[in-house]
Amino acid sequence: MIPAGFEYHRPADIASAVAILTAHGDGARVVAGGHSLIPMMKLRMADLSHLVDLQDIPVLRGISIDGGEITLGAMVTQHELIAHDGLAEAAPILREAALQIADPQVRYMGTVGGNVANGDPGNDMPGLMQCLDASFDLEGPDGARSVKAREFYESAFFTARADEEILVRIRIPRPAPGTGYAYEKQKRKIGDYATAACAAMVRMEGGACAMASVAMTNLSDTPVWSAEAAEALVGTACGPSDIDAAVKAALAAIDPSPDNRGPVEFKRHVAGVIIRRAIARAVSRA
């Protein structure tokens, strides 16, 4: 289908983009890679009179690794996450997850900012960012603010970002050397959303788990970071019974819904398998 008519804007800075959003209210929306918004416009599920393209705003681009922090511009593409050698060394879980998103054509255009900002529970990056304890920097008519990824998602397609705000960058604490990681994903076919996915990180010190983080994708109407799953691992040797306890805690935190990927019972079974694989592989790499 062809979308309804709209006015196209291509501002050169954040202030101009925010001004357009403020002036036109609900009738305006920003577009990054376009893989979520454009199909909705074609299906007339999104009826906009103003489209604000972020492609020409330099501050939204670039990857930097400065000491203990990784910074990703919101317009960094999934392909750039995969190709950046420094990022592959500093936080290899980002590359591992990005390689499982859609297909190469999508990854060349799809942005990390678009993936985390629109609140789709099926997107891979929101849960990963919760696992990494990332923060999202937003700018709007009232200035700049930062929101933790673990506090950003409210329900399906609803987030803490106000309509006039733009996600500018993502800041991630650099994982400590020796941190084990894994992103496990089960899907029906290449390019599909996950039936269940899990990001896990584990750091071992002296034979015991000193840090753990476990987050899940497409198993509730928001990504789910499970503090209880992490607590079940910390202080243990991360043996089979310890992983069993973490999986049990993670499963208690999810609330899957039946859909064309299967009934709730099937999704819970798949989730258990994927969570266990992610934790076990993270432990093996720690």
Q: Given this model, what pLDDT does residue 265 score?
A: 97
Q: pLDDT at residue 6 above 90?
A: no
Residue with tokens 């529970």: 121
Selection from 118, 224, 112, 222 nearest residue 170 by Cα: 112
89's tokens: 């060394």
What is the Cα–Cα distance from 144 to 132, expressed in whole angstroms? 22
In the chain, the percentage of residues whose pLDDT exceeds 70 is 99
Q: pLDDT at residue 20 above 80?
A: yes
Over residues 18-35, mean pLDDT: 90
Over residues 146-150, mean pLDDT: 98
Query: pTM for this one?
Result: 0.95
Q: pLDDT at residue 176 above 80?
A: yes
What is the Cα–Cα distance from 60 to 115, expressed in whole angstroms? 14
What CATH number does the domain located at 180-285 have? Answer: 3.30.390.50
Q: Given this model, what pLDDT does residue 34 score?
A: 77
Domain spans, the chain = 7-53, 60-173, 180-285
CB atoms within 10 A of CB 68: 11
Over residues 205-218, mean pLDDT: 97
pLDDT band of residue 245 (cuts 50, 70, 90) is: very high
What is the Cα–Cα distance from 11 to 271, expressed in whole angstroms? 43
pLDDT band of residue 281 (cuts 50, 70, 90) is: very high
What CATH number does the domain located at 7-53 have? Answer: 3.30.43.10
Q: Determine contact, residues 197/127, Cβ cutoff 8 Å.
A: yes
| Domain 60-173 belongs in CATH node 3.30.465.10 | yes
Over residues 153-167, mean pLDDT: 96
Q: Given this model, what pLDDT does residue 53 score?
A: 95
